[in-house]
Amino acid sequence: MEGPPPEARLAPVPGLDTWRQWVAEWDAAPGSHTLRCRATDGTGHTQPGHRAPPFPDGATGWHSVVVTVT
């Protein structure tokens, strides 16, 4: 992808400490793409990229998935 990633549109917040749905659209070129997302809390702190297990302080790490565009 050329340039910065698209900004996601976020669904309403259903409550405190809940997952939130989102969507991001882009003109995908054919080929393999890795999509990544990360969380940002209410104070603006972004989830660290490194993976850590949930115990004792909660899981960290950016979720990613590989997609193939044909």
Task: Give per-residue pLDDT as tens, 47-70.
Answer: 888 888 888 877 788 889 999 999
Distances (CA, A) of 37 to 56, 70: 23, 22
**pLDDT tens column, 6-34:** 788 989 988 877 778 889 888 899 999 99
Please tell me the pTM assigned to this model: 0.67
CB crowding 27-63: b at 16 or more within 10 Å, else e? eeeeeeeeeeeeeeeeeeeebeeeeeeeeeeeeeeee
- % the chain with pLDDT above 70: 96
Determine the Cα–Cα distance for residues 6 and 8; give it in Å rounded to an integer.
6
Asked if the model's pLDDT at residue 44 lies above 60, the reply is yes
Q: What is the pLDDT of the chain when averaged over all its residues? A: 85
